[in-house]
Amino acid sequence: METTGATDQTLAEYMTATRPEGFHAEASYFADGDYVTYFLKNDLYYAERTDDFLTVYRSEKDGEVMGCKIKGVRNLVEMMGDLALIVTVDSVKMGPLLLTAAMVSREDNRHMYMNLAKNMGSMNLPSLARAA
């Protein structure tokens, strides 16, 4: 397939000049959609919606949980309220966010939140505190 045009040239230049840094597990907050995503590993995955807050990403290879998406983050942070020791000026921890979502989810889904909190609980969301 032959490509032509300024846009293709710009993309080719960009791809030549830019090298990927490699994968590292990191949580990201997207203010426009008010959600957090987190991936434990770089692998092909499928999404499994748990409830209104949580979507779990599972590895296509073995079905293991490899990440998640949490929606309604601002609301969850507000629900944490006076947990000032957890929600600091600089960051919000994933663990309390997951536990807060677990409190308002269906009882039969809480085990998934607890499992995620155990694996991802210490991850910081630095940009979330400024957006909340």
37-81 confidence digits (pLDDT tens): 988 888 899 999 999 999 999 999 999 989 899 999 888 878 777
- DSSP output for the chain: ----SHHHHHHHHHHHH--------EEEEETTTTEEEEESS---EEEEE-SSSEEEEEETTT--EEEEEEE-HHHHHHHHTT-TTTS-SS--BHHHHHHHHHHHS-GGGHHHHHHHHHHHTT-B-HHHHHH-
| pLDDT reported for residue 91 | 63
Average of per-residue pLDDT values in the chain: 78
98-110 confidence digits (pLDDT tens): 888 888 888 888 8
